């Protein structure tokens, strides 16, 4: 939920707002802006990865997130080539649904916390905030998670995950860095502070510091994958 004049994003969860029925129609939304289609696909991948290293994860959320990631990475090149293709959209919608179920059970992490801050403070659309920062946040987690956790994440990603994400984003002209998305470097401090206090940051299996959030944001601004 996004505030009106107060520029904040708050997430909340309650069974009362969980859908009782979801209809996946690959023909609906075929005229959707290709940038929005790919940004949404990358948002779904962000749901899958956040669910993998969440402290609230379970065998159920793991299984659902794993299948979501496998399906979305498989279809991503075809979707980027033809965002209106019904077969590609069918797989992407299924992967998106699974990603949503995964975070419904495991909740999101610092990646979403940063995306929320970008939406609230910089007016970046939700999907684009994910698309620009995802290579950095995945790279940072692979480098910083405890070894067994990093291996769990790596096992659920294709070897060329970074290239796959960047190629899909480039195919529809999504910016490769926060700098190229128009974010002022001077805004990174306030963004880091906001993301640090976002509920998602505390959901991770490891403790995330203010400096960690600042590092991720600085690398996302430059467009680095944050392999450190």
Burial 162-179 (b: 16+ CB within 10 A, else e): bebbbebbebbebbbbbe
Nearer to Fe ion, 43 or 93 (CB): 43
**Stretches 4-12, 43-51, 162-170, 197-205: which one binds Fe ion (CB under 5 A)?**
43-51
Site residue total, Fe ion (CB under 5 A): 1
**Stretches 22-30, 42-50, 65-73, 159-167: which one binds Fe ion (CB under 5 A)?**
42-50
Nearer to Fe ion, 133 or 226 (CB): 133
Q: Which tokens belong to 147?
A: 């070894």
CB 209 → Fe ion: shortest distance, Å? 23
Q: What are phi and psi of 8, to 5 degrees?
A: -140, 155
- The Cβ of residue 101 has, within 10 Å, a number of other Cβ atoms equal to 20
**Stretches 37-45, 83-91, 189-197, 203-211: which one binds Fe ion (CB under 5 A)?**
37-45
Concatenating the DSSP letter of every residue in 152-167 gives HHHHTS-TTHHHHHHH
**Stretches 39-47, 74-82, 140-148, 158-166: which one binds Fe ion (CB under 5 A)?**
39-47
Binds Fe ion (CB under 5 A): choice among 43, 66, 96, 226: 43
d(CA 190, CA 87): 42
Nearer to Fe ion, 43 or 137 (CB): 43
Nearest to 94 by CA among 34, 58, 44, 149: 44
CB 176 → Fe ion: shortest distance, Å? 20
CB 44 → Fe ion: shortest distance, Å? 8
d(CA 158, CA 70): 8
Nearer to Fe ion, 104 or 222 (CB): 104
Nearer to Fe ion, 43 or 226 (CB): 43
CB 228 → Fe ion: shortest distance, Å? 25
Could you tell me if 178 and 220 are in contact, meaning their C-beta atoms sit under 8 angstroms apart? yes
d(CA 119, CA 91): 27
Nearer to Fe ion, 13 or 228 (CB): 13
CB 216 → Fe ion: shortest distance, Å? 16
Nearest to 197 by CA among 110, 119, 139, 126: 110
Strand partners, 204: 54
Residue nearest to Fe ion (CB): 43
**Binding interface with Fe ion (CB under 5 A):** 43
């Amino acid at each position: 939920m996004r505030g009106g004049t107060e520029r904040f994003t708050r997430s909340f969860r309650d069974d009362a707002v969980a859908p009782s029925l979801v209809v996946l129609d690959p023909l609906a939304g075929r005229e959707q802006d290709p940038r929005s289609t790919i940004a949404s696909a990358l948002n779904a991948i962000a749901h899958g990865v956040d669910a993998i290293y969440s402290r609230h994860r379970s065998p159920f959320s793991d299984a659902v997130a794993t299948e979501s990631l496998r399906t979305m990475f498989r279809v991503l090149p075809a979707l980027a080539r033809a965002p209106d293709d019904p077969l590609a959209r069918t797989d992407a919608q299924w992967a998106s649904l699974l990603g949503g179920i995964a975070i419904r059970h495991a909740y999101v992490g610092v990646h979403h916390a940063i995306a929320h801050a970008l939406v609230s403070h910089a007016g970046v659309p939700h999907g684009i905030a994910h698309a620009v920062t995802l290579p950095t946040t995945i790279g940072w987690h692979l480098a910083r998670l405890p070894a067994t956790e990093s291996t769990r994440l790596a096992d659920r990603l294709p070897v060329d995950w970074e290239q796959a994400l960047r190629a899909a984003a480039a195919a529809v002209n999504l910016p490769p860095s926060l700098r190229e998305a128009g974010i002022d470097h001077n805004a990174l401090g306030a963004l880091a502070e906001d993301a640090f206090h976002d509920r998602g940051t505390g959901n991770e299996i490891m403790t995330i510091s203010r400096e960690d959030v600042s590092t991720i944001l600085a690398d996302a601004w430059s467009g680095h994958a944050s392999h450190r």
